[in-house]
Amino acid sequence: MSGLDPGIHVFREFKEHGSRSLGYLMENDEPENSDEIQRTEEGLVKISFDMAELSRIKRQITNNRPYSDRMSISFAAQLLQVRTKLNEDHLILDVLDILEGLSFQLLPREVGQFRYSPLHPLWHVHWTAPRHILWSIGSRWNLRGDRKDDPLTSMMREVSGKYGDKPALWQGHFFQRLIFKGYEDQAKRGLTGDWIIFGKHEGKNYYVALATHEEGKPANAPRLFEKIKRGSEAEFPFLFTQENAA
């Protein structure tokens, strides 16, 4: 997920001929001297959509999912980047389908609510891909040292106690426990991955961002929240009110 930030910022909301439209600042790879696009001094592109255009874009990105209008254009752009760079967008949509009651598969991990400001009261749920397998194994054995327990040392002592005098068996059992049993154990606890971040309003989910665990840590939360707010507040202002935070 690192680097999958579409860099979308709402620069203005306006009404034209009675219709609501949103203007965005977006990154663009067109040549700097292109006459077809309008740039700011920072090199960002100015572009605007009316609400019908936004709806069509979201439906196309999500293959006409019925909840597409409840994802921000920033979320949709991240989803599109996951498709083009990783070909993993279907894994995210699978999780959204479960949240929306359109699929009865099990979630990789339970839904949780952020407990710290400013991300509270937003919610998060994991989505996972094959590239997250090593992360899940590492989480099972606490290889990053995020917890006080040391399950890897305990497991090595157990294997050594059973097979320490049998060199031909020791390594095989160790790697079986480390990799296969490690992944199996973590699957029961909940596989790790990246986050889908969403808000709740009047019984419905509104999807606002994809993020890594690192981005969602308390120390990084203000920066992530500002990115979410820039990309989603114009479409879903009710998620960012004091009443919703209460």
**95-124: pLDDT as tens digits:** 999 999 999 988 877 899 999 999 999 999
- Are 210 and 233 in the same domain? yes
Q: Could you tell me which residue, 20 or 193, shows the higher pLDDT?
A: 193
- Are 25 and 142 in the same domain? no
The answer to whether position 2 is within a domain reads no
The answer to whether position 1 is within a domain reads no
Please tell me the number of Cα atoms within 13 Å of 19 on its side-chain side.
Answer: 11
Put residue 14 in one of left, alpha, beta given phi > 0 → left and psi -120 to 50 → alpha: beta
The domain boundary residue, chosen from 148, 164, 189: 189
d(CA 1, CA 226): 18
Task: Report the mean per-residue pLDDT for the chain.
Answer: 80
- Are 59 and 135 in the same domain? no
- Are 85 and 185 in the same domain? no
- Are 121 and 182 in the same domain? no
Number of domains composing the chain:
2
The answer to whether residue 8 scores a pLDDT higher than 70 is no
**pLDDT-derived band at 11, boundaries 50, 70, 90:** very low
Token pair 């320490």 is at which residue? 164
The answer to whether position 201 is within a domain reads yes
The answer to whether position 3 is within a domain reads no
* Domain encompassing residue 107: 9-129+193-245
Q: Could you tell me which residue, 26 or 202, shows the higher pLDDT?
A: 202
Predicted local confidence at residue 160, as pLDDT = 86
For residue 1, give the amino acid letter.
M
The answer to whether residue 167 scores a pLDDT higher than 90 is no
Q: How many residues does the chain have?
A: 246
- Are 116 and 233 in the same domain? yes
